[in-house]
Amino acid sequence: MSIKKVLLTGATGRTGSLVLKKLRQRTAEFAPIGFARSQSKAQEIFGSSSGFVFGDILDKPTLKQAMKGCGALIILTSAVPRMKGTPTPGNPPEFDFEPGGTPEEVDYHGQKNQIDAAKEAGVEQIVLVGSMGGTDENHPLNRLGNGNILIWKRKGEQYLMDSGIDYTIIHPGGLVDEPEGMRQFVVNKEDRLLKSRESCTIPRGDLAELVVQALIHPQAKNKVFDVICLPQEDNTGVVNTDFAALFAQLTAIL
């Protein structure tokens, strides 16, 4: 099997950095390159900034250059809401986005740039992490900073689906920084999990593993799905190790 060169954007993010660490361990399969904005952040997380290309996803020429020779792209960028001021009792926190960092810019134009650059560079496969909740235009996340974040994320996803490149689009539930590999994955579609379960969370490490597995298994190609992990108390003790079967399950869920 030949080694696949993979560009990972959002590589200094909380999930992206975990994916990069995992890919770096699989030296027989992957030659990963991290794409990030900040050299000092990469240095802080990884102890070195080697294996990175630094740039902004709003700058398409840098993206295109970074994607040369890549067989796959992982999109783990996202607009990040920031809290305005300090919330006080009775006054809920307010949010905005940094200039140039709105969901329209990052999650739509930034994703579109990545997909266009990938297409021009001949990238064959894209794994994109979005979010659950996108079927509901009135979802509270859309009101954060008036950013309509889920709406712009879904527009970016539609652009990917129309691109002709093989895709896997993962919509995780709420991300938590808990140990990975302890809870069973549950997959479904179109926010049915959100509507039917009280707890819809997934550890970032488990999501990172799923992203890596989506690169490996052809059963994950051209699929869009939601994913959570069973809460500890509902766990049957089964931890998924057969990712091909997990992805294949999606074909039967209509």
Ligand X SMILES: NC(=O)c1ccc[n+]([C@@H]2O[C@H](COP(=O)([O-])OP(=O)(O)OC[C@H]3O[C@@H](n4cnc5c(N)ncnc54)[C@H](OP(=O)(O)O)[C@@H]3O)[C@@H](O)[C@H]2O)c1
Position among 56, 116, 136, 166 found at the interface with ligand X (CB under 6 A):
56
Q: What is the DSSP letter of 117?
A: H
Please give the residues from 143 up to 182 whose contact with ligand X meets the rule CB under 6 A. 172, 174-175
Residue 53 contacts ligand X per CB under 6 A: no
Contacting residues for 58 by C-beta, under 8 A, at least 6 apart: 100, 105, 106, 109, 110, 113
Distance in Å, CB of 63 to ligand X, minimum: 9
Q: How buried is residue 51: exposed, middle or buried, by Cβ count under 10 Å (0-12/13-18/19+)?
A: middle
Residue 96 contacts ligand X per CB under 6 A: no
Distance in Å, CB of 234 to ligand X, minimum: 20
Nearest residue (CB) to ligand X, 131 versus 240: 131
Position among 80, 151, 161, 248 found at the interface with ligand X (CB under 6 A):
80
Position among 20, 33, 66, 77 found at the interface with ligand X (CB under 6 A):
77
Residue 106 contacts ligand X per CB under 6 A: yes
Pick the closest to residue 20 from 45, 55, 40, 1 (CA basis): 45
Nearest residue (CB) to ligand X, 30 versus 152: 152
Pick the closest to residue 114 from 159, 79, 147, 148 (CA basis): 159
**Token representation of residue 241:** 């190790």
Position among 5, 26, 41, 119 found at the interface with ligand X (CB under 6 A):
41
The SS3 of residue 231 is coil
Annotated catalytic residues are 131
Residue 227 contacts ligand X per CB under 6 A: no
Binding site for ligand X (CB under 6 A): 10, 12-16, 36-38, 41, 56-58, 76-78, 80, 101, 106, 110, 129, 131, 172, 174-175, 204
